């Protein structure tokens, strides 16, 4: 395994009904949902980011439904989070987007004029779906202005690939048509798998509970992907990093694994 370094960057949180993350009968039960980015410092690929969090202009850019359903109670920009590591947006060599929902692409604007914006990896089917939705009035959690930037150059990912012997991207047909998962092999921590929003929380994973509402077209796509992640976890004896698990974020902070 290489000398790759990994940091989980905390980018603030929203407060929403728990049922949006984990199906439950108590509609009024609220939950804290964190935004995170994964910072990868690799000896040959350079410095990469997995997701970028929210935009600072959320009050004006996000539509009423998003603001009402997912109110932002704490915002930390990807720029400020990088500064805590002694980095600037211009130091980033590439960006991996798990998918193109607002809370994962909102920080792209900080990379205007940088090499990172010329190397933005995203699943090909996700890219097609996002543009289709925003251009046909079915945008949902996609906000066109956040990812349709003048200088951006997307690198479409068509299939599971390895960027290096210790960095692997895999496609997940859950949550959206194609969410990029991330598998990293670290010298000290071992294998880490980031699921992004295909599995929001640890209790969703362990108790096999899909999110509520209609975020997945059918429950089957959630369970099919969950089975795959469970098999991967066992095969690689991996630690899982879930999409929006506040308790997990607190545990990572206690270990000094989070900025």
Contacts of 58 (CB under 8 A, 6+ apart): 67, 72, 75, 102, 106
Assigned token pair, 211:
């999110």
**Three-state secondary-structure class, residue 170:** strand
Q: Provide Rg for the chain, Cα atoms.
A: 17
Q: What is the pLDDT of residue 238?
A: 97
Instruction: Give pLDDT, residue 25.
Output: 81
End-to-end alpha carbon distance in the chain: 24
Q: Give CA–CA dist 2/67, Å, rounded.
A: 42
Write out pLDDT tens, residues 160-184: 999 999 999 999 999 999 999 999 9
pLDDT value of residue 216: 67
pLDDT of residue 2: 63
Cα–Cα distance for residue pair 210/221, rounded to 1 Å: 10
Distance between alpha carbon 122 and the CA centroid of its chain, in Å? 11
pLDDT range class, residue 19, cuts 50, 70, 90: confident
Rounded-to-integer distance, Cα 259 and Cα 255, Å: 11
Confidence of residue 109 (pLDDT cuts 50, 70, 90): very high
Report the 10 Å Cβ neighbour count for 184: 24
Other Cβ atoms within 10 Å of 158 Cβ, number: 10
Give the H or E element holding residue 232.
Answer: helix 219-236
Whole-model pTM: value is 0.96
**CA-CA distance, 144 to 61, in Å (whole number)?**
10
Give 36's strand partners.
10
Please state the length of the chain: 259
pLDDT at 192 over 80: yes
Residues 11-26: what's their mean pLDDT? 89
Q: What is the pLDDT of residue 190?
A: 93
Lowest mean pLDDT across 8-12, 20-24, 76-80, 184-188:
20-24
Confidence (pLDDT) at 35: 97
Candidates 46, 180, 201; CA nearest to 104 is 180
Report the C-alpha gap between 85 and 130 in whole angstroms: 32
Report pLDDT for 142. Answer: 96
209 Cβ neighbours under 8 A, 6+ residues apart:
22, 23, 24, 203
Q: What is the dihedral of CA 188, 195, 37, 128, to 10 degrees?
A: 140
Q: What is the pLDDT of residues 113-139, one digit of tens each?
A: 999 999 999 999 999 999 999 999 888
Task: For residue 244, name the pLDDT band (cuts at 50, 70, 90).
Answer: very high
- What CATH number should be reported for the domain whose range is 5-254? 3.60.15.10
Neighbour count for residue 194 (Cβ, 10 Å): 23
User: For 39-87, what is each residue's pLDDT tens digit?
Assistant: 999 999 999 999 999 999 999 999 999 999 999 999 999 999 999 999 9
What's the mean per-residue pLDDT of the chain? 94
């Amino acid at each position: 395994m290489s000398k790759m370094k990994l940091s989980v960057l905390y980018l603030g949180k929203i407060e929403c009904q728990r049922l949006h993350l984990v199906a439950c009968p108590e509609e009024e039960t609220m939950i804290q949902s964190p935004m995170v980015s994964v910072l990868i410092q690799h000896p040959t690929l350079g410095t990469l980011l997995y997701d970028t969090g929210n935009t600072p202009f959320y009050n004006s850019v996000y539509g009423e439904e998003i603001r009402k359903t997912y109110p932002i109670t704490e915002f930390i920009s990807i720029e400020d989070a990088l500064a805590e590591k002694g980095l600037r947006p211009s130091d980033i060599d590439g960006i991996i987007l798990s998918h193109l929902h607002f809370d994962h692409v909102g920080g792209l604007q900080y990379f205007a004029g940088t090499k990172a914006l010329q190397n933005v990896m995203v699943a090909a089917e996700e890219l097609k779906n996002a543009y289709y939705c925003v251009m046909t009035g079915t945008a949902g959690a996609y906000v066109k202005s956040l990812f349709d930037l003048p200088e951006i150059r997307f690198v479409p990912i068509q299939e599971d690939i390895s960027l290096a012997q210790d960095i692997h991207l895999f496609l997940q047909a859950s949550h959206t048509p194609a969410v990029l998962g991330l598998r990293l092999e670290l010298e000290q921590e071992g294998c880490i798998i980031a699921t992004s929003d295909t599995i929001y929380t640890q209790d969703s994973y362990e108790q096999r509970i899909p999110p509520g509402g209609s975020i997945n077209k059918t429950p089957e796509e959630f369970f099919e992907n969950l089975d795959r992640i469970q098999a991967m976890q066992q095969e690689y004896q991996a630690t899982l990093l879930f999409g929006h698990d506040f308790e997990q974020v607190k545990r990572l902070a206690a270990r000094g694994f989070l900025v």
